[in-house]
Structure 1
Amino acid sequence: MSHPTAPPGYDDRNPLYPPPSGGYPGVYPQPPPYGIDSYDSGGTEGGGNFHVADWDDKKVRHTFIRKVYSIISVQLLLTVGIIAIFTFVDPVSNFVRRNVAVYYSSYAVFLVTYLVLVCCEGPRRRFPWNLILLTIFTLAMGFMTGTIASFHSTKAVLISMIITAIVAIIVTVFCFQTKVDFTSCAGLFCVLGIVVMVTGIITAIVLAFKYVYWLHMLYAGIGAVAFTLFLAYDTQLVLGNRKHTISPEEYVYGALKIYTDIVYIFTFLLQIVGSRD
């Protein structure tokens, strides 16, 4: 079976970053390289992440979906546990606030594992290395998110978690029910990713010299909306029956995408809610 050229990647993601004690960040870490997803551009079976929606075997599709969401559930539980430790255990919270370099170390681990999982099809599909890399990635991203949460009040963290959970559930249910095909609008998602990237760069440069509240909130608002749309896009790639779907062999890749979207929604919401403390 031949496959059409898959849509370009929208992984124009800004990295997580922690605000310093007493204020918001003036310098932002650089995001990972953009457009690094590997896609199926030819007719080789299983040669990439995306394929034409041709999942006639419902059992295969349902097994794939269960596997993806089981992995995501474990990832989110692990992340919530790390955030809880960083939020409620004062010695841990105080330590990461005083040692921001630890955060950047976890960011380095996050970036390396992210690039390996996204760019290298071999490790991503080969058990158990795919799960080992995904576990390291989840721990690194959970540590980064917990570090960010430690700079905000417990109330802001809880509110952001609740809103994120509601948004994720609503988007998932909507994607199960709707006839709208987000996967057919890959070009628009690429443009949206570029907007988030450019807005993040401008915000980083401006806040490096002077904190501008409205600019920071604008960036956080754009990021929250953008990654909510990205979550809908990735969810439909996993669910199938659309113009483009993720290969049934790419359960690690599907979990990675959706988990990352949810975490980014949380961090952007945390910036908005935490700014009102």
Structure 2
Amino acid sequence: MDSPKKPTGIVDKAALYVPTNNDRYPPIPLPAPPSANGSQTEDLAPEAAPQLESGTISHDLIVKNIIFDDQTIRKGFVRKVFGILMVQLLFTCAVMAIFVYHEPTKLFVQQNFVVVFVAMIVNIIVLIMIVCVESVRRKHPVNLICLAIFTFTMSVLLGATSSLMDSNIVLAAVAITTILVTALCIYAVQTKYDYTACGGLMITFVMIIVVLSVCSFWLPEFVDSLPISCLCGAIGCFFLIYDMQTIVGGNRAEQLDPEEYVFAALTLYVDIVRIFIYVLRILEKVY
């Protein structure tokens, strides 16, 4: 018997039925998409392991990740640097006091300018040797001898400069510099902002100081003016914070090698002397 025909124009619902996963039709498994990170990791992992085993890691990476992570080494390095710096500053203050308060010494320096000239030449030569020659600043006791010569010549230059000024202004400059340096050192250690990551700003400030130093031969009044002295003093404070963070280390972009304790003491000493000179200039203009 023939089945009855459906009327024309009526849609068969069974023909439009789409099976789901709960029906008798199983899901079709699809391959997982390739992972870019996973492939790179698999490709790089075999290369990284031989580098670690063969010891081809750079020296800077070893210093940052191993040496400065050891609190004992870091604290010993900081103590050594500040011990040397304290001796330098005390010796410089003693020499300055002799030049300021001892009249025969003051007259001798004022009448024999060649002493200041020789001290300046020796100071520059020793500074270049310590900064540019690695064996000089790392080899003991050559590094300490060069640092002692630099400190002595710088003390003579500061003493000769202070002997030409009023003793009260010199004392005020020493007091202000001491308070300012102490506050900046505490700030550099406590702040979470990493000044060592500002390498471009550091280079810019160095260029400003160099240009002003060259201009001082032709425009001494402009370079010695109060606004320029304040600007250079602010730049000197930035240098001190930058160098302080490279010495203390921790989570910093740049930090010194523990063997560079002489270079570290030299940088802090130069920063403090720079700040003292600009404070002295400011006080001289104000008073």
SS at match of 1:183: helix
Classify 1:90/1:53 alpha carbon distance in 2 versus 1 (closer, same or farther; 3 Å).
farther
- Structure 1: distance between partners of 2:65 and 2:229: 34
- Which moves more between the two structures, 101-110 or 232-241? 101-110
The alignment status of 1:246 with 2:260, answered yes or no, reads no
Matching residue within 110, 113, 120 for 1:97: 110
Indicate if the aligned counterparts of 2:106 and 2:163 stay in contact, CA closer than 8 A: yes
RMSD: 2.1
The alignment status of 1:231 with 2:240, answered yes or no, reads yes
Matching residue within 191, 195, 213 for 2:208: 195
Instruction: Tell me the equivalent position of 2:145.
Output: 132
% of aligned pairs identical?
A: 32
Flag the structure with more relative contact order, 1 or 2, with Cα contacts below 8 A and sequence separation at least 6.
1
| Matched ranges for 1:1-277 at <5 A | 45=59, 52=64, 55-207=68-220, 211=221, 216-241=225-250, 242-277=252-287
- Structure 2: distance between partners of 1:156 and 1:85: 16
1 or 2, which has the higher helix percentage?
2
Amino acid at match of 1:218: P
Amino acid at match of 1:116: M
Q: What displacement does 1:43 show? A: 6.4
Amino acid at match of 1:222: L
Classify 1:221/1:51 alpha carbon distance in 2 versus 1 (closer, same or farther; 3 Å).
farther
Q: What displacement does 1:221 show? A: 1.7
Indicate if the aligned counterparts of 2:224 and 2:281 stay in contact, CA closer than 8 A: no
- Structure 2: distance between partners of 1:192 and 1:51: 27
Amino acid at match of 1:250: E
TM-score by length of 1: 0.78
- Structure 2: distance between partners of 1:272 and 1:43: 49
SS at match of 1:67: helix
Q: What displacement does 1:52 show? A: 4.0
CA displacement 1:45-96 (0-9 Å, x = unmatched): 379xx96465210000000000000000000000000000000001111221
Indicate if the aligned counterparts of 1:203 and 1:219 stay in contact, CA closer than 8 A: no
TM-score by length of 2: 0.76
Classify 1:219/1:168 alpha carbon distance in 2 versus 1 (closer, same or farther; 3 Å).
same
